[in-house]
Structure 1
Amino acid sequence: MALLHASPAQAIDVNPYGARLGSARTHALFKADDMEVIRVVLRAGQSLPPHHVPGSVSLHCLEGRFEVLLGQTVHQLDSGQLMHLPPNMPHAVRAVEDSSALVTIVLCPG
């Protein structure tokens, strides 16, 4: 069964999962014509392979800690921190510990 996206003007709880993080899963919160917001959940050691998207991306670490690989440089993203990536920037993400983040992707027309 597919998860439903939030409706326009619907409040969405994005508080840290805390003790529930172990059973949480990645899911899209909403998708509009110009943006998509995803709650990404990764267990310690899990990663998203190198990729890029055509639009700008923001990564907001809600809990835990991530490593964001940009080229050969590793950037730390800790709980409460936000990182912006410009369009088409290749990147990979690895959870240093069980973690969740809000990922906002600007969708390019066409």
Structure 2
Amino acid sequence: MAIQHAKPGEVLEVGPLGDAIAATKTRALLKTESVEVLRLNLPAGKTIAEHKAPGEITVQCIEGRVTFTAMGQSHELTAGKLLYLSAAEPHAVQAQEDSSLLVTIIFGKQ
């Protein structure tokens, strides 16, 4: 079964999940040849080890609190904060609280 992604013109809800955050799975909201948008839901204590994205990324915290480590620095992201990284920049994230992030990956020319 194919993953359902947003269609052009479709409106998606990306607000805080509140108590439903623990029961809501991470999912790709849309994906094209040039961009992918994910809603990443992380329970408190969850760590995503250092990795690289194939393109430039933005990470916007919708709710919760995460520690985002990149470029030799750690940053605390809370609701409303956004971080930008260049393509292939190594980074890691750890959820300090149940958290939801909006991750956008912008792919370079193929």
Q: TM-score, normalised by structure 2?
A: 0.93
Segments of 4+ moved more than 4 angstroms:
none
Counterparts in 2 of 1:41 and 1:2: CA distance versus 1, 3 Å: farther
Aligned length: 110
Partner Cα distance (2:108, 2:74) in 1: 27
CA RMSD, Structure 1 to Structure 2 (Å): 1.3
Cα deviation 1:32-78 (Å, max 9, x = unaligned): 12100000000001021111123110000000011011254211111
Amino acid at match of 2:9: A
Q: Which aligned pairs between 1:90-105 and structure 2 lie closer than 5 A? A: 90-105=90-105
State the shift of 1:8 in Å. Answer: 1.1
The answer for the alignment partner of 2:6 in structure 1 is 6
Partner Cα distance (2:2, 2:44) in 1: 26
Partner Cα distance (1:105, 1:3) in 2: 18
Q: Which aligned pairs between 1:69-108 and structure 2 lie closer than 5 A? A: 69-108=69-108
Which ranges in structure 2 are unaligned for 5 or more consecutive residues?
none
The answer for the alignment partner of 2:51 in structure 1 is 51
| Match status 1:109 vs 2:109 | yes
Q: Is the CA contact 2:71–2:89 (under 8 Å) kept in the aligned structure 1?
A: no
Q: TM-score, normalised by structure 1?
A: 0.93
User: Secondary structure at the residue paired with 2:19?
Assistant: helix
Give identity over the alignment, percent: 39
